[in-house]
Chain A
Amino acid sequence: MRPAPPAVSCSPRLPPTLLACHECDLLQHEPHLAPGQSARCGRCGALLARNPVDSLDRSLALLLTAAVLYLLANTFPLVGLELQGRRVEVTQFAAVLALWEGGMELVAALVFLTTMVFPVLEVMMIGVVLLPLRLGRQVPGLAGFYRLVRSVQPWGMIEVFLLGMLVSLVKLSHLASVVLGVAFWATAALILVLTLAGRAFDPRLLWVAQKGVA
């Protein structure tokens, strides 16, 4: 009979550079990456590891910009319609509310979550994850919050929303003249900034900070 496997899960005998591809499970060694480089799996081509440049400061700066843009995008009108001197403007929340009042509660909730709630979770990374890391503080919930942000990320769909806005404006352009609002441009910029912030952030920062305390 073989002896029972040791109850220690983080065995020191596993080389620190060893990792498994998350898409094909092939074991391989992470190559040494210069800042800005990334490595791909030799078998299936999935992204294996990244080493973003100056990750903490850049993602902090980008997410602070994103916070300002998010506020603009949600307080100012997205689009306006002008017809015979009358002008109506719609904010994002008013659009969701109109759908809700029209009896489409499920669809309204879906739009509200995907365009307003999930994107703001990513912005909240500043306060919960990045600032404590920058200040060198130890916060217990870091990894859990990062996991939450990662798991809702596919559901934040402001870029699809922006395209939907363009389509609906074309559909209405024969009825009235269309004016793009402040929030439209803020949303467009927010998409860009959030994409860059996602690329700048290096999740390894979370584990390095943890090791420093243990």
Chain B
Amino acid sequence: MTPAKPPLTARTAGLLSCHACGQLSRGTGDHHPRCPRCRAPLHPRKPASIATTWALTLAALILFVPANTLPMMTTVSLAGSQTDTILSGVVFLWQSGSWPLALVVFFASILVPLMKILALLYLALSVQRGSRHAPRARTQLYRAVELIGRWSMLDIYVVTLLVALVRFQGLATVDAGPAAVAFGAVVVLTMFAAMSFDPRLIWDPLSDPDTPRWRPHD
């Protein structure tokens, strides 16, 4: 008895699907094929997807440390000067009674970037090992990463507006600290990492049972 036929994907059928307009076309043997309808470059899968995701995610993980330990904001007023990290900003909001906003900032600035980095590492690792485990759940995880990643930019905007408003008020000065650069880089790097990850790779092991497992010496 033969096992059930694996699901037919565009790649196993020898077709290329345009990521820009969705048009299917046959591969022509050309090294740089373009979509016959919208002229976008075609790839069976995003090129060097997993390697790029690894590189960008690891860079984001490294920058996540200075983003959380260095000062995000320095306030100088008659009462003295005060430096704030992301976490102390959350604590300030909590203590001043606006705990809903404290939660929002905590989620957007600390929890979301961390979960996003961990999710991308897990996705890259599971694809590299040729995992067949819960492909639908992993695709949903990827979708969630793409959807919520942008909200991490929140703290950058908060600092921008505080700097401007307080400066024009003239009672104190607020300056953005080095953590703002690191934090901005974390957000941008994780967004690029999510874009370079190709969710179709999650499903590939299901289509051909002989997909070779990734080996370090290949």
* Interface residues of A, Cβ cutoff 8 Å to B: 4-11, 14, 18-20, 22-27, 43-46, 78-79, 81, 83, 86, 88-90, 94-96, 98-99, 102-104, 106-108, 110-111, 114-115, 143-144, 146-147, 150, 154-155, 157, 160-161, 163-172, 174-176, 203, 206-207, 210
* B157–A111 touching, CB < 8 Å: yes
CA distance A171 to B39 in the complex (A): 49
How many B residues touch A, CB cutoff 8 Å? 76
Q: For residue B23, which residues in chain A have a CB less than 8 angstroms away from its CB?
A: 207
Task: Kindly report which residue of chain A lies nearest to residue B149, judged by CB atoms.
Answer: A154
Contact A10 B36 (CB under 8 A): yes
In the complex, how many angstroms separate the beta carbon of A99 from the nearest chain B beta carbon? 5
Q: How far is the CB of A54 from chain B (nearest CB, A)?
A: 21
Are B9's CB and A25's CB within 8 A?
yes
Q: Which of B3-42 contact A (CB under 8 A)?
A: 7-11, 13, 15, 17, 19-29, 33, 36-40
Q: Which residues of chain B from 120 to 174 have a CB within 8 Å of any chain A CB?
A: 135-136, 139-140, 142-143, 146, 150-151, 153-171
| B191 shortest CB reach to chain A, Å | 7
A14 touches B153 (CB 8 A): no
Min distance, Cβ B130 to any Cβ of chain A, angstroms: 16
8 example contacts (A-B, Cβ-Cβ < 8 A) are as follows A23-B143, A24-B199, A83-B171, A107-B156, A143-B39, A150-B20, A154-B150, A170-B101
8 tightest CB-CB pairs across the interface, nearest first?
Answer: A164-B157, A20-B10, A95-B164, A20-B17, A10-B36, A25-B9, A98-B164, A168-B161
* CB–CB B20/A95 < 8 A: no
Q: Are B38 and A46 in contact (CB under 8 A)?
A: no
The answer to whether A88 and B176 touch across the interface, beta carbons within 8 angstroms, is no
Residue B91 lies at the interface, judged by CB distance under 8 Å to chain A: no
Complex contacts, A99 vs chain B, CB 8 Å: 159-160, 163-164, 176
Q: How far is the CB of A214 from chain B (nearest CB, A)?
A: 10
Nearest CB in chain A: distance from B124 CB, A: 16
C-alpha spacing A102/B92, complex, angstroms:
24
A9 engages B25 (CB within 8 Å) = yes
Tell me whether B37 and A210 are in contact (CB under 8 A): yes
Assembled-state Cα–Cα distance A196/B184 (Å):
28
Q: Is the CB of A20 within 8 A of B20?
A: no
Compute how far the CA of A11 lies from the CA of B16 in the bound complex, rounded to whole angstroms.
Answer: 12
